Structure 1
Amino acid sequence: MDKPINIFYSEPDPDRWFKYDRYPRKLIRRLVRGKQKPGGVATIAINLLKGFDRIGFPYRFNDYGYIRKHPGEIACIIGKPHLVFEKKWKNPIILGAGIYSHPIECADLFEQYPNVKRVLVPGEWMCDMFMPAYGNKVLGWPVGIDTEQWKPYDSVKTFDFLIYYKIRWQHEQMEEELVAPVTKVLDEQKVSYHFIKYGQYTHDELTEKLKVSKAVIFLCEHETQGLAYQQILATNTPILAWDRGGFWQDPHYYPDRVKYQPVSSVPYWDERCGVKFTDANDFKPKLAVFLRKINDFKPRDYILENLTLEKCAEKYLAICREVEAELA
């Protein structure tokens, strides 16, 4: 596969009150809120294209006119899945990694859309969750991290830890059972810290707080890929990560519709990245281990080996070549 790859991405933005009102609503949102920060799925598309740029591989982006005239070429639909459902594709499709959270949302995907040849999800535990429904057509594929944008800071570290708070559900319970005990231990041991909260910061704010932090405590129930913590690792900042495992906790599915385990908050990880703890009781001993080894961690090396823009773009191309060979 040396000819340009065909990439498609868009966010769903349906009409709400009257036909075509999505256009003035979009303009008003832009005027009121300013330029929108890319979400996780948008970042997947952006970083994949950056990866193709880095390795010098050509692509077309959202060229619907071209793809309609070339029904034999693969349409790589990064997300979201409404693009598959709303358009009459004749092309073979690679769908993902920006798709729905569980296959029960479209259990008959391959019957309705037999031209979908692969479904990509961001990580291996999610792949394992999808596999009973989708079989070997589902693959785990992570998008790359921009290691030129996220790189080590030559700065004075005035805090021992930045606590990255990404707890999604049961906030009061988690405050009592996890956050308060963790900060109590830090206070008792005279370990300094400050906070940043997911969804409430800009790129510059995260950068400024990382610059003055020796390490990060990452608090999140589970991640499918975890772009933020991987960006942190790319700055060579080690992480003490809450990784309780257990069931996938999304209340839209759990416990009534789906019970799947185990999950992870740091699905891409090895011992160079830091240390994991399971709960408040496990935090104090793991903090001691972490502080003892803090100068030995090499988290950026892990990212450079596994999750660069270039490496992940190459992995995506390998999937495309595999599908192309099956179609030949």
Structure 2
Amino acid sequence: MITLNLFYEEPDPDRWFKFDRYPRRYIRRLIRGRSRPGGPQMVAINLIKGLDKIGAPYRINDYRYIKKHPTEIACIIGKPHLLFDKKWKNPVILGAAIYSHPVDHPDLFNKYPQVKRVLVPGEWICDMFKPYYGDKVIAWPVGTDTTDWQPSDHAPKYDFLVYNKLPNSPYQSVLLKPILELLAKRALSYQIVTYGSYDQQELKEKLSQCRGAIFLSRSETQGLAYQQILATDTPILAWDREGFWEDPEYYPHRVQYQPVSSVPYWDKRCGVKFSGPDDLEAQLDLFLKKIQDFKPREYILENLTLEHCAQKYVQIYKEVLKELT
């Protein structure tokens, strides 16, 4: 049986003097407590969970082994400094926790010909990468833990959970405010969670008290948070404007790409989309009319479980292995 060689590390360079990253790491933990894993780290965590579920063996960050076996594939999940800072002789599958756009590394395959595939989290970002990287880029989403994210057996107290990923954004006033005013006008109760200021337990508890969710994000490369919401069988009214990718580091001076999506993995079982304030009220009416018919967890179980996505990763690995032999 194939054993995957997985590599993932967060960048933590020395800042003021050699090896100062170690005391800084210790002090950070004392002050802030154990850090919560972000999206890129969750890619590694959930892939490993999925591999465990399908019984696929793996090694994690075994640099000694991979150096002694230069013909075996190195699966560099992320971050990309692992590719750039180490002298890899092995063929490489890179991603999906990588950099945001190929303009940062347009000569990737010239500098690192050992890279055989670049994985990105979703289809629209794959389309954004393809003019630079061609068929070597593949959309691969990591799975959602459907055991951890379960439907609630409690009667809902609120109509909506509003998931706000627009703090400090101009969309906060032009979108969130009209939504809350509309909910108040309709006597629809709600709770709010704001991106960056909640933990997983809070999200679970609030979801268990709500009939539906309103998801507000400018764009998502995969969207683990909204997929966790769907896994609890909570349907979503999702803002999906399909405009430009507006990352301020790139747009509009370096990259102008459209359309993006806020819910890149989706079908009619998940809920209803709206494009902005103009169609919000009509789509809210449609959502409320059909709320009993949605089956969002069914969609996740068919497409985005830990097992399903881990199996797809293994399949990509086998395809690269076949090309090498």
| 8 Å Cα contact 1:142/1:225 also seen in 2 | yes
5+ residue gaps, structure 1, are: none
Aligned-partner Cα distance in 2 for 1:271–1:88: 47
The CA distance in 2 between the partners of 1:80 and 1:282, in whole Å, is 39
Aligned to 2:286: 289
Amino acid at match of 1:206: L
1:201 is displaced (CA, Å) by 0.6
Cα distance in 1 for partners of 2:220, 2:57 equals: 31
Shift of 1:167: 1.6
User: For 2:263 and 2:2, how far apart are their aligned partners in 1?
Assistant: 36
- 8 Å CA contact 1:119–1:138 kept in 2: the answer is yes
Q: Supply the AA of the counterpart residue of 1:194.
A: Q
Output the amino acid matched with 1:7.
L
Is the 8 Å Cα contact of residues 168 and 220 (structure 1) preserved in structure 2? no
**Residue 119 (structure 2) aligns with:** 120
Shift of 1:156: 2.0
Q: Distance in 2 between matches of 1:15 and 1:126?
A: 32
Equivalent in the alignment of 1:229: 226
State the SS of the aligned residue for 1:258: coil
Is this contact kept in 2: 1:235–1:300, CA < 8 A? Answer: yes
Aligned to 2:11: 12
Say if 2:197 is the partner of 1:174.
no
- 1:106-117 aligned at under 5 Å gives the runs 106-117=105-116
CA distance in 2, matches of 1:275, 1:132: 31
Correspondence 1:21-100 to 2 at 5 A: 21-100=20-99
Instruction: Assess if the C-alpha contact under 8 Å between 2:167 and 2:194 holds in 1.
Output: no
The one-character-per-residue Cα deviations of 1:78-112 (angstroms, maximum 9, x if unpaired) are 00000000000000000000000000010000000
1:228 maps to amino acid = A
Between the aligned residues of both structures, percent identity stands at: 63
- 1:139 maps to which residue? 138
State whether structure 2 residue 297 is matched by structure 1 residue 320: no
Is residue 255 from structure 1 mapped to residue 252 from structure 2 by the alignment?
A: yes
Dislocated runs of 4+, deviation >6 Å: none
User: Is the Cα–Cα contact under 8 Å of residues 272 and 302 in structure 1 kept in the other structure?
Assistant: yes
Q: Which amino acid aligns with 1:287?
A: L
CA drift of 1:168 comes to: 5.7
Distance 2:237 2:22 in 1: 44
TM (normalized to structure 1)? 0.98
Q: Residue 163 of structure 2 corresponds to which residue in structure 1?
A: 164
Contact map agreement 2:123 2:139 (CA 8 A) in 1 = yes
* Cα RMSD after superposing both structures: 0.7
* 1:180 CA displacement: 1.0
Tell me which of 267, 270, 280 is aligned to 1:270.
Answer: 267
* Alpha-carbon distance in structure 2 between the residues aligned to 1:21 and 1:156: 52
Question: In the superposition, relative to structure 1, how do residues 324 and 256 fare at CA in structure 2: closer, same or farther (>3 Å)?
Answer: same
TM-score by length of 2: 0.99
Q: Distance in 2 between matches of 1:133 and 1:252?
A: 19
Q: 1:327 to 1:168 in 2, by over 3 A?
A: farther
State which of 194, 211, 214 in structure 2 corresponds to 1:214: 211
